[in-house]
């Protein structure tokens, strides 16, 4: 046996003696606590009855939590309505008006069917836009023909004018110049510069929905130097009723009287943690942009999976299509005015008073959480109004210019807000120090039996695990676990070769039973 192997065997024998001590000599390991607080499962009664079958159908076929499809469907509904409706939450003060557009996201690790679910939910919107595109192309073709005819009439008029001037006769009447080029109606955007999006909004005053498969890249892009105007543009776009002007050399000034943008996408937990660390610590991202993502869901992953191989529900899809088509055709220049019915108004006022009392005062939640809850003032009436419009459209009711929001849909909106508040608590709870996150990761691998006892520091970072990919992180994590009595450094014999001895950690035998 070589000298180096002999040293290794001696170290292992020494540490195993250490690890074989009676459990009574070890203190009970301190609990590290769960990284994420619990969240309630989604009750499908919280969403409009017209979308329950679709959410249930997609979630079952994809074997994913229903929260994903529910969140996407609610934001898609908002993107379909936007400035085609306005909600007036109070009885007498008519100055407070809410445009029902929304931002949202699914928080989930890769491979959880986020993208297929998003495509399935937004496919009816894509079909609407395809129909609009075909209508635009037909209208554009007819316009080009009429434009050629108009040009011929202008040429003939100019020739007649020349002859009239020569003869001293009165010039003929100028041809009509009121020909207006058609504009392309848009509903769903996936990738565009903010300048182009601004142009599209000028031609689509009702607003659009932006779908981003990966939101963290978009969020990080807005943090870069030189993107201040773009960030301001999206902040105004969330309001739904704020004007915005873009001035460019060569393109001139483009003014949009009311920018309205709904937004939905996917976020991976690890990237979300990195972004939020700055957003809630007073960094450049702490301007309320993230708090505008009101429909955020981060449910527990299902523990079981089973194969589902059946076609989508035609009834569920047709119902969603009907709702989207009806709402997308509502006029923008004369939006539907929505107000709470008398019993629903009473419930909303009680809900609003409770919200205001919770977010005000010195003993309230953390400032970043208060900023998020404050946005619920508009979220609750937005949800109630959208739920009302969806179910009325599904029932083929004619949508009048004045609609009362029922008590049923107001209750649904209040319950959905409670559900979303639990989700956002989980989102903000994910932001912990890197040392704590590394310690929790190391503890998880110990519990799963991924490491022997004893184990050297080198063994951990050589595996390349998340948050444990270098010596410093593993060292810091192990030291925190040592304070919690999960591990302790093993006593090592001096190295006969003169090199630095390996750092070895012995696992508390009680870990598997107590922690």
Same domain, 240 and 262: yes
Same domain, 418 and 444: no
Which among 399, 429, 459 is the end of a domain? 429
Average pLDDT score over residue span 469-479:
88
Those residues whose C-beta lies under 8 Å from the C-beta of residue 156, and which sit 6 or more positions away, are: none
Q: Is residue 165 situated within a structural domain? A: no
| CATH number, domain containing residue 361 | 3.40.50
Same domain, 374 and 392: yes
333 phi and psi, to 5 degrees?
-70, -15
> What's the pLDDT score for residue 225?
78
Q: Is residue 383 situated within a structural domain? A: yes
293-318 pLDDT, tens per residue? 999 999 998 888 999 999 999 999 99
What is the span of the domain harbouring residue 322? Answer: 44-133+184-350+357-429
Same domain, 370 and 491: no
Which of the pair, 276 or 185, is modelled with greater confidence?
185
Same domain, 64 and 198: yes
Which among 408, 429, 450 is the end of a domain? 429
pTM of the model: 0.79
Q: Is the pLDDT of residue 49 over 60?
A: yes
| CATH number, domain containing residue 13 | 1.10.10
Question: Number of folded domains in the chain?
Answer: 2
> What's the pLDDT score for residue 265?
94
Q: Is residue 151 situated within a structural domain? A: no
Count CB atoms within 10 A of the CB of residue 332: 15
> What's the pLDDT score for residue 283?
55
Same domain, 406 and 456: no
Which SS3 state, helix, strand or coil, does residue 82 take? helix
Q: Is residue 172 situated within a structural domain? A: no
Q: Is residue 176 situated within a structural domain? A: no
Which of the pair, 478 or 275, is modelled with greater confidence?
478
Q: Is the pLDDT of residue 375 over 90?
A: yes
Same domain, 23 and 114: no
Q: Is residue 195 situated within a structural domain? A: yes
Same domain, 22 and 128: no
C-beta of residue 143 within 8 angstroms of C-beta of residue 182: yes
140-195 pLDDT, tens per residue? 999 889 888 888 888 888 888 888 887 777 878 888 777 888 999 999 998 888 88
Which among 414, 429, 444 is the end of a domain? 429
Q: Is residue 52 situated within a structural domain? A: yes
Q: Is the pLDDT of residue 16 over 60?
A: no
Among 382-396, 404-418, 473-487, where is mean pLDDT lowest?
473-487
Q: Is residue 160 situated within a structural domain? A: no
Same domain, 85 and 9: no
Same domain, 243 and 281: yes
Q: The tokens 């960030």 sit on which residue?
A: 231
Residue from 330, 306, 302, 314 nearest 54 by CA? 314
> What's the pLDDT score for residue 280?
66
Same domain, 392 and 501: no
Same domain, 371 and 285: yes
Cα–Cα distance measured from residue 106 to residue 258, given in angstroms and rounded to the nearest whole number:
27
Those residues whose C-beta lies under 8 Å from the C-beta of residue 405, and which sit 6 or more positions away, are: 87, 338, 339, 340, 341, 344, 381, 384, 385, 388
């Amino acid at each position: 046996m070589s000298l180096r192997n002999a040293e290794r065997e001696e170290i292992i024998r020494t540490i195993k003696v250490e690890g074989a001590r009676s459990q009574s000599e070890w203190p009970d390991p301190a609990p590290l606590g769960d990284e994420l607080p619990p969240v309630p499962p989604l009750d499908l009664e919280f969403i409009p009855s017209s979308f329950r079958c679709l959410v249930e159908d997609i979630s079952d076929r994809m074997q994913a939590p229903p929260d994903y499809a529910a969140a996407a469907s609610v934001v898609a509904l908002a993107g379909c309505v936007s400035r085609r409706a306005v909600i007036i939450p109070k009885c007498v003060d008519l100055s407070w008006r809410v445009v029902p557009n929304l931002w949202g996201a699914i928080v989930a690790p890769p491979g959880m069917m986020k993208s297929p679910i998003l495509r399935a939910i937004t496919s009816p919107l894509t079909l609407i836009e395809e129909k609009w595109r075909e209508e635009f192309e037909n209208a554009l073709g007819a316009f080009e023909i009429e434009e050629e005819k108009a040009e011929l009439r202008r040429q003939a008029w100019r020739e007649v004018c020349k002859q009239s001037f020569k003869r001293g006769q009165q010039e003929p009447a100028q041809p009509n110049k009121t020909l207006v080029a058609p504009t392309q109606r848009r509903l769903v955007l996936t990738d565009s510069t903010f300048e182009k999006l601004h142009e599209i909004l000028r031609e689509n005053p009702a607003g659009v929905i932006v779908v981003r498969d990966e939101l963290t890249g978009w969020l990080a892009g807005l943090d870069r130097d030189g993107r201040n105007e773009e960030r301001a543009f999206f902040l105004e776009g969330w309001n739904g009723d704020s004007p915005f002007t873009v001035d460019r050399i060569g393109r001139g000034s483009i003014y949009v009287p009311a920018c309205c943008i709904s937004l939905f996408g996917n976020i991976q937990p690890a990237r979300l943690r990195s972004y939020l660390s700055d957003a809630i610590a007073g960094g450049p991202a702490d301007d309320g942009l993230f708090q505008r993502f009101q429909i955020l869901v981060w449910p527990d992953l299902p523990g079981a999976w089973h194969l589902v191989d059946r076609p989508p529900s035609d009834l569920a899809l047709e119902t969603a299509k009907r709702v989207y088509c009806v709402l997308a055709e509502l006029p923008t220049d004369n939006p539907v005015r929505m107000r709470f019915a008398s019993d629903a108004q009473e419930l909303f006022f009680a809900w609003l008073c409770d919200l205001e009392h919770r977010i005000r005062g010195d003993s309230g939640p953390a400032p970043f959480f208060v900023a998020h809850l404050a946005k619920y003032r508009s979220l609750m009436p937005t949800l109630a109004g959208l739920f009302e419009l969806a179910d009325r459209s599904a029932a083929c009711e004619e949508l009048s210019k004045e609609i009362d929001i029922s008590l049923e849909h107001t209750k649904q909106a209040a319950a959905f807000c409670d559900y979303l508040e639990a989700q956002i608590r989980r989102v903000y709870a994910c932001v912990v120090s890197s040392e704590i996150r590394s310690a929790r990761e190391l503890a998880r691998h110990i519990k799963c039996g991924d490491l022997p006892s004893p184990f050297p520091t080198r063994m951990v970072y050589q595996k390349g695990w998340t948050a444990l990919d270098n010596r410093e992180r593993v060292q810091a994590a192990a030291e925190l676990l040592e304070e919690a009595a999960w591990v302790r450094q093993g006593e090592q014999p001096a190295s006969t070769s003169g090199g630095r001895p390996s750092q070895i950690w012995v696992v508390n035998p009680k870990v598997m039973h107590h922690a």
